[in-house]
Amino acid sequence: MPMLEGLEAQNELNEVVKNRVGKACELMDEGKNPYANGFIKNTSNAGVIAEFGDLDAGELEKLALAGKSFSLAGRILSLRSFGKVAFLVLQDEGTRLQCYCAKEDMDEESYKFFKKTDVGDIVGLSGILFRTKTNELTLKCRAFKLLTKSIRPLPEKFHGLKDQEQRYRRRYVDLITNPASRKIFELRVLIIRLFRELMEDAGFLEVETPILQPIPGGATAKPFATHHNALDMGLFLRIAPELYLKRLVVGGFNKVFELNRSFRNEGISTRHNPEFTMCEFYWAYATFEQLMDFTEHLFTELARRVCGSSRITYQGQEINLSAGSWVRMPFYESLSVLGGHNPDMYNNQARMVEYIKSRGEKAVTDEKLGKLQAKLFDLDVEPKLIQPHFIYHYPTDISPLSRRNDVNPCITDRFELFITGREMANGFSELNDPADQRLRFEEQVAEKEAGDEEAQFMDEDYLRALEYGMPPTAGEGIGIDRLVMLLTDSPSIREVILFPTLKPEY
């Protein structure tokens, strides 16, 4: 019975915790602090392995005879005791090293501490290096100090958490026990650092814009609302930094970017988290075609530096990120060529509503045709865009901030990048005509008043900024979490966010 098994497991856990608390109390009764401070490391596990990992047993013995001693600290991941001797695995910043502890090699004080030790405890050890009979590099412990008593046991020795949700809820345990998880986040740090370097090398200036905004703008999304007590005013967590960054372009910054946290009050899935990281950048006197060229270069270079090649594997499928191989296709052409629909169908309001409903999606008769076409694209085109595809010239109906195309005002000079069947970036030549922008905002306000919670607000200050004059500009947003997913072969966004949003456990 699952319930009985759960109770048995909880009772077993309670006994383990009780035993460990007892050990901590015994140490305190003896005047020893189970949460000691002041132990000084003189190296790390990674440093030991890098500098001495290639030495043979004889060379290590010479080091020991010369008085070379090492002071290490970390968490015990496994402990095998054989009477008065024991082997343990010490982990420090993800690197593991075997240690050997024997009563005859340690002073009485150190050995007392050692006997009260459990897997999960954080300890300090000092000793010399040697090789075991199996030729494994090992620290022979001469002194031992308990630094932090672990009250809760690690799961299943050091095989890690198996339950996916528990891995996300208890990320601290996941990072201790799962080297692959730690590697993803180390790569995330590297990807963001390299991304920033590439942007700066291209002449972009990194800036910061408000997270708390009186008017949320720059994207079609439902915002999170809050209240500022001192000013007695409503505020929103930003859904995008776009309108503030474009104010900076008006102010004379020709190339700006922001690596930012944004927040959207929307559903949660393997691709969506309410709090997420993206990069938005704006480039004065550039066009959306130049952005596509730059984006292709950016992704190709990141893959080469992070993965060693512009050809990567994602969930068992090879993805070719090599520059020059990326497909560029107009939006309406994609509905025909990839979606299999003819213009007579996707330009007919009634037929579109009927078809979208037949696919189990919501559609209403008076919904704008551009929005219906976007839903059709989501259903029948997007899942097929596995290799890099730029889809461009989107309907004006669904692009309230994009510049109209000079030849056809029903479409905009906008693109979206898709890889592995998901959107990775969105960019366009910016709308800098204040009169046209006001009309677009008014349309958005009408949609909001009709019940669309994701429609945008009227932003009079942004319109005022445009009236001062914004040069012809191209701008883009790239989803950093999805980029990390791609370059680390991660199937879910929760794998690449340290603390994803989850329902409360209790």
More confident: 207 or 453: 207
Is the per-residue pLDDT at 158 higher than 80?
no
CA pair distance 51, 58, nearest whole angstrom: 16
Percent residues over pLDDT 90 in the chain: 86
The structure tokens listed for 130 are 């040697």
What confidence tens digit (pLDDT) does each residue in 248-270 have? 999 999 999 999 999 999 989 99
pLDDT band at 65 (very low <50, low <70, confident <90, very high): very high
pLDDT score at 202: 98
pTM, rounded to two decimals: 0.92
CA pair distance 202, 205, nearest whole angstrom: 9
Give the closest residue to 398 by CA, choosing from 416, 419, 412.
412
Please give the average per-residue pLDDT across 269-277, as a whole number. Answer: 94
pLDDT band at 162 (very low <50, low <70, confident <90, very high): low
Is the per-residue pLDDT at 188 higher than 80?
yes
| Residue 113 burial (CB count, 10 A) | 22
Give the DSSP H/E element, type plus range, for residue 429.
strand 422-429
Q: Strands, E, within 33-109: which ranges? A: 70-82, 85-92, 95-102
Is the per-residue pLDDT at 8 higher than 90?
no
What confidence tens digit (pLDDT) does each residue in 337-368 have? 999 999 999 999 999 999 999 999 988 888 89
What confidence tens digit (pLDDT) does each residue in 219-246 have? 989 999 999 999 999 999 999 999 999 9
Domain boundaries, the chain: 2-154, 177-339+381-495
Please give the average per-residue pLDDT across 430-456, as a whole number. Answer: 93
Is the per-residue pLDDT at 12 higher than 80?
no
On the CB side of 176, how many CA atoms lie within 13 Å of its CA? 23
pLDDT score at 9: 58
pLDDT score at 140: 97
pLDDT score at 13: 78
CATH topology of domain 2-154: OB fold (Dihydrolipoamide Acetyltransferase, E2P) (2.40.50)
Please give the average per-residue pLDDT across 288-317, as a whole number. Answer: 97
Please give the average per-residue pLDDT across 7-32, as a whole number. Answer: 84
Residue 371, classed as helix, strand or coil, is helix
The structure tokens listed for 131 are 């090789």
pLDDT band at 445 (very low <50, low <70, confident <90, very high): very high
pLDDT score at 161: 60
Is the per-residue pLDDT at 293 higher than 60?
yes
Q: How far apart are the first and last CA of the chain?
A: 22
Please give the average per-residue pLDDT across 188-208, as a whole number. Answer: 98
Please give the average per-residue pLDDT across 3-17, as a whole number. Answer: 64
Is the per-residue pLDDT at 164 higher than 90?
no
CATH topology of domain 177-339+381-495: BirA Bifunctional Protein; domain 2 (3.30.930)
The per-type count for the chain, helices as H runs and strands as E runs, is 16, 18
Percent residues over pLDDT 70 in the chain: 97
What confidence tens digit (pLDDT) does each residue in 376-410 have? 999 999 999 999 999 999 999 999 989 999 999 99
Q: Quote the mean pLDDT of the chain.
A: 93
CA pair distance 283, 475, nearest whole angstrom: 6
